[in-house]
C-alpha cells in the first residue's frame, strides 16, 4: 500500500477473483478538485 496523496491510498488486492487489482479509495474530506484525475494518472503509472 502507498499513499498517492494525503488521505488517498493506493492498494493492490490479494487473493480471490480480483487478485492483483489496483484500488484507490478517497474520502470526501481529502484532496482538492483534481484529486480524482490525479489518482487515475497515478494508477496508470503503476
Predicted confidence (pLDDT) per residue in 6-24, tens digit:
888 999 999 999 999 999 9
Find, among 3, 24, 4, 5, the residue nearest to 13 by Cα. 24
Please give the pLDDT value at position 20. Answer: 94
**Domain spans of the chain?**
2-45
Please give the pLDDT value at position 32. Answer: 79
Amino acid at each position: 500500500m502507498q499513499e498517492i496523496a494525503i488521505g488517498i491510498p493506493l492498494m493492490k488486492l490479494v487473493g480471490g477473483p480480483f487478485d492483483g487489482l489496483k484500488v484507490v479509495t478517497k474520502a470526501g474530506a481529502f484532496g482538492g478538485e483534481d484529486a480524482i484525475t490525479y489518482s487515475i494518472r497515478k494508477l496508470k503509472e503503476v
